[in-house]
Homo-oligomer: A and B are copies of this chain.
Amino acid sequence: MLIMTEERNAFQTQVVALRRTQILDAATKVFAEQGYHRTTIREVAKAAGVADGTIYNYFENKSALLLGILDRLNETEARPAALAQATGMDLRAFFLHYLRHRLALFDQQTLELYQVLLSEVLVNPELRRRYVEQIVAPTFALAEQRFSQLIPQGKQGPLDIALVLRIISGSFLGLLMLRVMEDPEVQTKWDDLPELLTTMLFDGLLPDSPLPKAATDSPLPKAAEQKEKD
């Protein structure tokens, strides 16, 4: 029985999307396990349950698999930022909330994926370009905007927000690398990091007693934190 062309196309589009997903899933898995260079197209194909050549019906070449993985990551990454639109928080609460959310995302699988991606991003210019364009830059842009909104009036004076954000993101990225490097401290205390990072950034490394910020802080930071827990 003939299917209407439209339905047919829609169906085909879905099938194509599924195949891509199937292949990218497989690629993600084997890349995460063995690294990009150590993995052959044949292994990806086998993991995906397709023939070698089939992969080339969906991706131009091996490197395009990485880009494809990146693009998917982009889609899943975009949302946390959206989620973070939560209103009614002060900067500290928002910050803590956001960090918790981000760090919680990194299960073993995701971690290994980042491991591969970052490794290649460092060394593959095209991938780096896409990574910066699709993920880094938009994230910074959004973050700068939100930050500006959340900084209490009359505070932002001395600090270069853009650069502050780089430092924060940098510490995030760096912690990711340390975890990948299996640093025992970071591994075992991963879940403590959001609080610690927040405390450090808002109270400083050497909080005085009487803490200067204690007075200006939102009255119930701990309570606020508890509320936001996803």
Contacts and interface: CB of A to CB of B under 8 A. Distances in A.
Nearest to A38: B123
A229 B136 CA distance: 22
A156 to B, nearest CB: 9
Q: Report how many copies the assembly holds.
A: 4
B167 A230 contact: no
A153 to B, nearest CB: 11
14 contacts: A89-B224, A97-B229, A152-B206, A155-B207, A159-B199, A160-B189, A164-B196, A167-B193, A167-B196, A170-B175, A173-B173, A174-B177, A212-B214, A217-B221
Given A93-B224, A203-B217, 9 more contacts: A90-B224, A92-B224, A93-B228, A122-B122, A131-B181, A158-B199, A167-B196, A170-B177, A212-B217
Interface string A109-124: 0000001101111111
A222 B209 CA distance: 19
B224 A213 contact: no
A170 B178 contact: yes
Interface of A: 35-38, 83, 86, 89-94, 96-97, 100-101, 115-116, 118-124, 128, 131-132, 136, 140, 151-152, 154-155, 157-160, 162-164, 166-178, 180-183, 185-186, 189, 192-193, 196-197, 199-225, 227-230
Contacts of A124: 35
A202 B213 contact: yes
B202 A206 contact: yes
Contacts of A208: 212-214, 216
B228 A217 contact: no
A166 B175 CA distance: 7
